[in-house]
Amino acid sequence: MTKRLFSHRSGVNRGPNRLTVALEQERQKKRDIIDLTLSNPTLARLPFDAQALLDALSNRDLLVYRPDPLGLRSAREAVASHISESGLSTSADRIVLTASTSDAYAYLIKLFCDPGDELLVPKPSYPLFEHLARLEAVRLKPYPLRYDGLWHIAIDEVEAALTRRTKAIVVVSPNNPTGSFLKRDELDALSKLGLPLISDEVFSSYPLINDRTRVRSALESDQTLVFALFGLSKLAALPQLKLAWICIGGPETLAEEARERLELIADTFLSVGTAIQLAVPQILKIYQPVSDAIRRRTKRNLDALSDLDWPVSLFHLEGGWYASLKLPNIESDEQWALDFLNKDQVCVYPGYFFDYERSSVIVISLLVAEPIFDEGLRRLAARVGATVKKG
């Protein structure tokens, strides 16, 4: 009998999906692809101040290793000051630095969950949670985001999903890909359930509309433990520098217990590099022009998308970098994506990547440079028009 060498949790299907195979085939043909899924800001033609970034990373103190499990005090103070500037009250003692929001999720799952415990996560949403949960040996239970012209958290369905093994509720504000922010009444209702809230707010700097009903952050709640996640990846468009942070909110006694336990978890891994911790105070002073450029571009591209005359419905969008489109129900979302790629050399996401239950949904990025975005839209519109006419 052959002994099993590898864990079940690492045994995911590593085979490519049909779209990945088709994309590789198109590239082998040396065809230029318009990538309307672009999410890497370093490739998005943004006005980075390269010299200022390099100067921020040039610090002789990085030659000395003085590890702090929660992150260097100077870095945490800079992050706390940045958060406080948005009107939220926090301190360096409530900040935990991590190398990424994925690391932050992993820390928080370790904080609350034993193997077999459950996390509630939104659906549709980014397909990261499944992998994180599997690697941490916990279960995911989705709760639906309902759409009636606006996106809503179905609070009654969140309550119905709770079991004795539910340890925390994940919210994403604005959600990826729906672009919907957490609203005050939703935060109040979720807080009353008595479970910790893990609030992913990495896109919160990029609202696309004004809405007085939304919260600035789940940190506005003082009824339950809240862990708000942020990072340089989206805020400063610097994913390669690998820095994110958890901000702890909620009742003081519980928040302090959480901080002490997170300190032990963080001390086990010490995953954040010294150079970026030393640089973050300066980076938080110089990132604004790039962030402003992203806001202008995403708003402009959303306007271009909204103005287009074609038989496609744009789901209501409040913020973030992505837009979801409902195409004519002639083909599946995967087939639409394959047609756009094979016939028009335009890459889009099929909605099932994000667990959209509706058929014929595609997702595109608003981060794409304007001329490329416009040409991609022109090709999509022409293909949809031709398909509708033929069908």
Distance between CA atoms of residues 293 and 47, nearest Å = 7
Contact 228, 219 (CB under 8 A): yes
Q: Which amino acid is at 231?
A: G
What is the per-residue pLDDT across 215-272, written as a single tens digit (0 to 9) for each? 999 999 999 999 999 999 999 999 999 999 999 999 999 999 999 999 999 999 999 9
Structure confidence at residue 355 (pLDDT)? 93
Return the percentage of the chain with pLDDT > 90, whole number: 88
Question: Quick one: 391 exposed, middle or buried, by C-beta within 10 A (0-12, 13-18, 19+)?
Answer: exposed
Its CATH architecture, for the domain 16-39+289-390, is Alpha-Beta Complex (3.90)
CB 204 within 8 Å of CB 179:
no
Task: Assess whether pLDDT exceeds 90 at residue 22.
Answer: no
What is the rounded average pLDDT of the residues 323-327?
97
Pair of tokens at residue 14: 């590593």
Give pLDDT tens digits for 140-157. Answer: 999 999 999 999 999 999
Q: Is the pTM of this model over 0.75?
A: yes
Q: What pLDDT band is residue 2 in, cutting at 50, 70 and 90?
A: low
Length of the chain: 391
The answer to whether the beta carbons of residues 284 and 78 sit under 8 Å apart is yes
Which residue ranges make up each domain of the chain?
16-39+289-390, 50-286
Q: How many CB atoms lie within 10 A of CB 95?
A: 24
One of 3.30.360.10, 3.50.50.60, 3.30.565.10, 3.40.640.10 is the CATH number of 50-286, namely 3.40.640.10
Is pLDDT at 119 greater than 80 in this prediction?
yes
Average pLDDT over residues 318-327: 97
Query: What is the mean predicted confidence (pLDDT) over 263-285?
Result: 97
Per-residue pLDDT, averaged over 119-144, amounts to 94
Element (H, E) at 23: helix 18-28
